[in-house]
Amino acid sequence: MIYYVSGPVTVLEPGLAVIECGGVGYGCRVTAYTAGQLKLNAQARLYVTESIREDAFDLYGFISKEEQRCYELLTSVNGVGPKAAMAILSAGGPQNFTLAVMTGDEKMLTAAQGVGKKIAQRIILELKDKIGGGGMELDFSTGPAVAAPTQQGNAALAHAALQELGYSPAEINAALKGVDPAATTEEMVRYALRAMVMKG
């Protein structure tokens, strides 16, 4: 199993990056999100997910573990293949994908080429609990809830969702510093992600 490849980027084309390791060039299929963070002839490390079929052996490379996890979650959904998963992550990156699932945002998912409304609904239905962390369902619908979450509960859900993206507790606490304690979980996650982007 190839866990990651590390070395100079020798080829960088739309959807493809070649990383040279010990004289061997590993061609990895990449999202626009990953490609945007690579530079030709610069050192890079890509986390790899292999796809082996009778007629093909493909390597999918990701700039971060969080993006790789999102890809693997997507391809676990019935009807979502590697091509659709890569298109979704190319459209918005792992942060926007995670937020789309948490908030039930079908439009963000259907913005990806080849992803229809039914597939988007299936992705949200099957992954909402997994991305929420700890088996907690995140429901931002305006309908009546059986038990409205407390403000502390909102913060806990936001914290869990951000951890699912790969952020450390220290990073999350720093990003959520100053957030309105009365904000919804969705608002807290958006606030933290904006803080992460500005810091980075």
Who contacts 153 (Cβ-Cβ below 8 Å, separation ≥6)? none
Over 50: is that where the pLDDT of 142 sits? no
d(CA 67, CA 158): 19
| Strands 16-21 vs 24-29: parallel, antiparallel or unpaired | antiparallel
Give me the residue label for tokens 């609990």.
129
Nearest C-alpha neighbor of 6 from the set 47, 51, 40, 58: 47
d(CA 60, CA 44): 14
Model confidence at 138, pLDDT cuts 50, 70, 90, reads very low
pLDDT in tens, 90-126: 987 888 898 888 888 898 899 888 899 999 999 999 9
